[in-house]
Structure 1
Amino acid sequence: MRIASCRNIFLVGPMGAGKTTIGRRLAELRQLHFVDSDHEIESRTGVDIPYIFEKEGEAGFRRREKQVIADLVLQQDIVLSTGGGAVLDADNRRALAAHGFVVYLHASVEQQLARTARADNRPLLQHAADRRAVLSQLLSVRDPLYREIADLVLPTDGRSAKGLVHEIVQQLDRVPAPI
């Protein structure tokens, strides 16, 4: 395991993995500030993510995401939930790995389908004729990138947020304190 600063905890993984739910609970338990990178982008721009995708495309969104992540990783004592595609950018991966303990919340395509079935705020799924195919493709590209920077990989299928938070805390307590 790579020794990382445990003053920050970064959650990565696909949509529907539970990053926001687990992040909020983890932050509360560890008395840290919770930040969701997508919500931060929306706050800074004053519009929602689907609107950014519509007006600027995915490339425009990714530029905004990169700036937000570069800013957020420099904060201290945060739990950061990243967007599922944040790991596509090598600079984002380096920044996350260098500034905190990275937890990859792994979710199967089945779980992602179930958890995103009624979501209308997922630009990559909005117009997809075959959501399973889209999610499978995204996971095949992103899974190795999540694993590349993860200090901890946790399967989330069939597991409660409470249990996952407990396991993350146990793992964090085993990591040597930063110098």
Structure 2
Amino acid sequence: FRDLEASVIDELTQGPAAVLSTGGGAVLRPENRQNLHARTQVVYLNSSPDELFRRLRHDKSRPLLQVADPLQRLRDLYAQRDPLYRETAHFQVDTGRPSVSSLVNMIVMQLELAGMTQP
């Protein structure tokens, strides 16, 4: 799966501008981090493990969370991946509990401030 994921990221980051939402583990591979950072504008939507647990505690479709202590699993994943997300990202938005429209506005504002879009 990770080989296919890396191939798709490589291909899509060389194409026309688009929004690409990666899976959480995409940053585990150095070539993915490099391709994403060098070829795109990466927005890291940062959520705390506690916030993620609140949102996902009833979700049975996430294999990584089907463990005895899913909150601890989220904390472990965050500790491993957060530095990689930060390395890859050009922008970071803390998600907290705002609405989707508020998050979109925060992202657009970040891109505008960086001169990436027109107001």
Structure 1 and Structure 2 fold alike (TM over 0.5): yes
Distance in 2, matches of 1:64 and 1:129, equals 30
| Aligned residue type for 1:156 | T
2:62 aligned to which of 81, 98, 122: 122
Distance in 2, matches of 1:71 and 1:119, equals 31
2:36 aligned to which of 93, 96, 105: 96
TM-score (structure 2 length as normaliser): 0.90
| Aligned residue type for 1:103 | V
SS of residue matched to 2:24: coil
Aligned length: 116
| Aligned residue type for 1:152 | F
The question of 1:73 aligning with 2:9 is answered no
Equivalent residue, structure 2, for 1:164: 103
1:103 Cα deviation from its structure 2 partner: 0.5
Identity of aligned residues (%): 44
Distance in 1, matches of 2:34 and 2:101, equals 29
Structure 1 runs not aligned, ≥5 long: 1-60
SS of residue matched to 1:101: coil
Distance in 1, matches of 2:26 and 2:107, equals 21
Provide the alpha-carbon RMSD of the alignment: 1.3
- Quick one: higher RCO (CA 8 Å, sep 6+), 1 or 2? 1
Structure 2 runs not aligned, ≥5 long: none
SS of residue matched to 2:42: strand
1:67 Cα deviation from its structure 2 partner: 1.3
Distance in 2, matches of 1:95 and 1:120, equals 32
SS of residue matched to 1:76: coil
TM-superposition CA deviations, 1:13-63 (whole Å, max 9, x none): xxxxxxxxxxxxxxxxxxxxxxxxxxxxxxxxxxxxxxxxxxxxxxxx212
| Aligned residue type for 1:104 | Y
Equivalent residue, structure 2, for 1:49: none
Equivalent residue, structure 2, for 1:173: 112
Shift in CA distance, 162/147, structure 1 to aligned 2, threshold 3 Å: same
Flag as ranges the 4+ runs of structure 1 deviating above 6 A.
none
Q: Which protein has the bigger strand share?
A: 1
TM-superposition CA deviations, 1:94-122 (whole Å, max 9, x none): 00001111111110111111221222221
TM-score (structure 1 length as normaliser): 0.61
Distance in 2, matches of 1:139 and 1:95, equals 22
